[in-house]
Amino acid sequence: MHYYPFHIGDYRKDTSRLNFIEHGIYRLLIDEYYLTEHPLISDKTRLMRSCGVRTKEEIDAFEFIIDEFFVLTDDGYLHYGCEKVLKKIYGKSESARNSAKIGWEKRRANALKSDANALESDANALKSDAFSMLPITHNPIPKDIEADASSNKGNQVADIQSLYNQICKDLPKCQNLNDTRKKRLLAQSKKTIFVKGTEYKCNDLDFWEKYFYLINSIDWLNGRTEKKFNIDFDYVIRESNIIRFCESAQ
């Protein structure tokens, strides 16, 4: 795709500590992500070359950005924010396609009642309209349209991992999703937690995003106080701790 929304406030909030070189490298990597509509290649040498990274200072900045804002997966370096935007665009594309199809079918039925010649002209025009309603991308049909339920669950687990790594920056990163973690997250995603009369649906990524921001805001959890705690991903996603920290926020 050749266009994407850019929210200045959100960007500044996440990157206020970056220097001039780090800003440039980060924006180039995001542009590459949206241009290919895919996680960045895992070959750092090729990535640095595509961004024009040459000097030692630029290489150090690149290493910091790739470790700070991206997560290495089997598909390459994943960026949760970019993935979220792409999924929204894919969803709008499919909605536009379906709306155009319904409209075309209604007008086709009406045309059949009046004039067979007009039907052919209308059909061609409407088919053209259907395609023009879609955003211009290399692959306008969402990649997950044909995915089965198990694949969607796997993607959600990976999204939760990515959210944690990006938001809880002061806690140890979750580098691997072993079977125990996957089972725990899948079990959690089926639950609805009630805390003081408030309902939290754990199958909603928005819940996990807000929850991880809550965790990140608690100084003692993140080692920002004199007394240190050994907090990690497994501790944070435990159901009893989710309820505990949600209660403390109310």
Task: Give pLDDT, residue 95.
Answer: 60
Task: Give pLDDT, residue 152.
Answer: 64
Task: Give pLDDT, residue 94.
Answer: 59
Environment class of 219 (CB within 10 Å of its CB; exposed 0-12, middle 13-18, buried 19+): exposed
User: Residue 13: pLDDT above 50?
Assistant: yes
List Cα–Cα distances, 227 to 43, 65, 167, 169, 172, in angstroms: 40, 30, 22, 19, 17
User: Residue 31: pLDDT above 60?
Assistant: yes
| Token output for 97 | 């396609």
Task: Give pLDDT, residue 60.
Answer: 94
List Cα–Cα distances, 71 to 153, 160, 190, in angstroms: 19, 12, 25
Helix, strand, or coil (residue 193)? strand
Question: Cβ of 233: how many Cβ atoms within 10 Å?
Answer: 21
For the stretch 37-48, pLDDT in tens is: 889 998 999 999
User: Residue 111: pLDDT above 80?
Assistant: no
Any idea which residue has 């805001």 for tokens?
217
For the stretch 184-243, pLDDT in tens is: 888 877 788 777 777 887 888 888 898 899 888 888 888 887 766 778 898 888 888 888
* In the chain, domain spans: 8-78, 83-132, 149-249
User: Residue 90: pLDDT above 80?
Assistant: no
For the stretch 53-79, pLDDT in tens is: 999 999 999 999 999 999 999 989 999
Task: Give pLDDT, residue 114.
Answer: 62
Task: Give pLDDT, residue 218.
Answer: 85
CB 188 within 8 A of CB 204: no
Any idea which residue has 């409407």 for tokens?
126
CB 14 within 8 A of CB 63: no
Alpha-helical (H) ranges within 16-148 are 20-36, 44-50, 56-69, 80-114, 116-132
pTM of the model: 0.41
User: Residue 150: pLDDT above 80?
Assistant: no
CA 160 – CA 155 distance, rounded (Å): 9
To the nearest whole percent, how much of the chain has pLDDT over 70?
71
Q: To which H or E segment does residue 30 belong?
A: helix 20-36
β-partners of residue 192 are 201
**CA distance from start to end of the chain:** 42
Residue 101 — pLDDT band, cuts 50, 70, 90?
Answer: low
Helix, strand, or coil (residue 40)? strand
CA 71 – CA 45 distance, rounded (Å): 17
**Higher pLDDT pick, 144 / 10:** 10
Task: Give pLDDT, residue 22.
Answer: 93
